[in-house]
Amino acid sequence: MRIAIIGAGCSGLVAIKYLVEAGLKDIVCYEKSDQIGGNWVYTATSSHSSICRTTHTISSKSMSQFSDFPMPDDYPDYPSHQQILAYFQAYTRHFQLEEYIRFNVTVQHVEKIENERWRLSLSDGTLSEYDYLVIANGHLEIPRHPDWKDNFSGKYLHAHNYKTNQGIENQRVLVVGAGNSGCDCAVEASRDVACVDMSLRSPQYIIPKLIMGKPTDTFAASLQWLPQSIQNWLQKISLRIQIGHYRDYGLPEPDFSPTQAHPTINSEIFNKIRHGKIRPRPGIQAISGQTVHFNNGSSQEYDVIIAATGYKISFPFFEANFIDWEDAAHISLYLRIFHPDHPSLFFIGLIQPQGCLWTLAETQSQLVGQLLSGKIQLPSDWRKQASCEGMYWTKQFITRPRHSLEVHYYSYLKLLRQNIKSKLST
């Protein structure tokens, strides 16, 4: 049984670890760069990584560590990108994962061949065939650009390419989007530029990193024993006590529950707004030259636009007509892992959780390892369930492109664990 893994970021690393732990040894993980870490490898220039110089986690240390490899005691509640990369490097050394990784090798093309097998064309000019293929290349690499991008005559950046304020000091900046990337960009830019405006097309829950003295995700974890309606009410009450009304900051008030959209976790944005360093603006109606016209009839000239407008789901190694989810409203995968048309293909980390991604990828990998080692089996109707599951997750969240991969952290984790435990006990 030969297994290929594409990507040695956090998802690829846990895939290696749990496949090896399940007794599977003929594994090759292809990594196009010269080191592990994926998106957490910071570079000052444009690269595959989307983090900027000051990025910290938005999930807390206690909720982001692997089940059998705790983070160092001296790590803060919200580690920096340097600390997270060091943690992944230590994880790789501890479990001796590097022997399975081929660095500086890009998977250029993947073709499905007979008997549900896979042929990989590699950047070193070789071909290699495998019985199973694990996709762990992430989903934060190919920017989704707005339609008006080419109408702006000033400097345009996608958040993916925003690293530092070098080159935009003392300029007028508009950040488009108030998700986690948008708020991070606006806060960081406000330290050095002349002014920062932030355009919001729709309401957004922006939540402080600490609630009642606890990291936000640990506070949410403490409520899991309550019915969802009670959780939502308590979350709204705690937000009201801590920050007041969103309209007090010039932000639109959400008319949906906190769990119906991916939250933005950021504490600094509120202080920056109230100190006049960041000014919220409505959605964009049109752009002409360097003038941006907003939906409320106002307009403003800017030197720089930073578009925090999300990413496309992309698999550049597949033919476009093989799997194309760039504009998909929902993704039909059983347990967000198994493709109904390709039973030897697995996706690890192709999720957008309301919590830490790599702890869920860890459990996904454990499930795949148990399956391939013959300890568990998928249910007979798993293909049918894949379609139903895609529709189910779509209905849990308001309709936005960013929610095609969204899952509720705890209910999804429980579902994965149930599939492992129930099969192992039979």
Position 326 in a domain:
yes
Q: Tell me, yes or no, whether 220 and 258 share the same domain.
A: yes
* CATH number of the domain where residue 317 is located: 3.50.50.60
Contact assessment for residue 152 and residue 159, using Cβ atoms and an 8 Å cutoff: no
Q: What is the mean pLDDT of residues 384-396?
A: 85
Q: Are residues 26 and 152 in the same domain?
A: no
Q: What is the pTM of this model?
A: 0.94
The residue with greater pLDDT, 49 or 25, is 25
| Mean predicted confidence (pLDDT) in 168-174 | 95
pLDDT for 426: 40
Q: Are residues 55 and 42 part of one domain?
A: yes
pLDDT tier at 245, thresholds 50, 70, 90: very high
> What's the average model confidence in pLDDT over 398-403?
78
Range 381-389 average pLDDT:
90
CA distance 220 to 234: 10
Annotate 55-107 with three-state secondary structure: CECCCCHHHHCECCECCCCCCCCCCEHHHHHHHHHHHHHHCCCHHHEEECCCE
| 194, part of any domain | yes
**Enclosing H/E stretch for 413:** helix 409-424
pLDDT per position as a tens digit, 332-358: 899 999 999 999 999 999 999 988 999
Q: How confident is the model at residue 100 (pLDDT cuts 50, 70, 90)?
A: very high
pLDDT at 49: 77
271 and 292: one domain?
Answer: yes
pLDDT of residue 390: 80
10-21 vs 81-94: helix axis angle to the nearest 10? Answer: 20
Residue that terminates a domain, selected from 280, 307, 334: 307
163 and 279 assigned to the same domain = yes
Greater confidence, 361 or 387? 361
Q: What is the pLDDT of residue 423?
A: 53
pLDDT above 90: residue 209: yes
Does 92 score more than 90 pLDDT?
yes
Let me know whether 245 and 269 are in one domain: yes
Give the burial string for 229-244 (b: 16+ CB within 10 Å, else e): eebbebbeebbeeebe
Residue after which a domain boundary falls, among 259, 275, 307 = 307
Tokens read off for 399: 């309709």
Element at 265 (helix H, strand E)? strand 264-265
Looking at the domain assignment, is residue 57 inside a domain?
yes
Q: Is the per-residue pLDDT at 53 higher than 90?
A: no
Asked if the structure places residue 190 within a domain, the reply is yes
Position 410 in a domain: yes
How far is C-alpha 338 from the chain's CA centre?
19
Which of 84-98, 268-282, 392-406 shows the lowest per-residue confidence on average (mean pLDDT)?
Answer: 392-406
Q: Is residue 233 part of a domain?
A: yes
**Same domain, residue pair 180 and 267:** yes
Q: What is the pLDDT of residue 231?
A: 86
In the chain, the number of structural domains is: 2
In sequence order, the 6+-apart residues with CB closer than 8 A to the CB of 192 are 165, 168, 169, 170
Q: Which of 246, 280, 307 is the last residue of a domain?
A: 307
Instruction: Report the percent of the chain where pLDDT is more than 70.
Output: 99
Task: For the chain, give the mean pLDDT.
Answer: 92
- How far apart CA 2 and CA 19 sit, in angstroms, is 11
Whether residues 225 and 266 share a domain: the answer is yes
Write down the pLDDT at residue 425: 41
Residues 91, 113 within the same domain:
yes
Residue 389's domain comprises 3-142+311-421
Q: Are residues 103 and 179 in the same domain?
A: no
Asked if 126 and 152 sit in the same domain, the reply is: no
Q: 255-290 pLDDT, tens per residue? A: 988 888 888 999 999 999 999 999 999 999 999 999
Phi-psi region of 109 (alpha: psi -120 to 50; beta: other; left: phi over 0): beta
Confidence label for 424 from pLDDT (cuts 50, 70 and 90): very low
Residues 285 and 378 in one domain: no
- In a domain? residue 426: no
- Residue 384 in any domain: the answer is yes
Average pLDDT of the segment spanning 305-331: 89
Q: Which of 7, 22, 4 is nearest to 365 (CA)?
A: 22
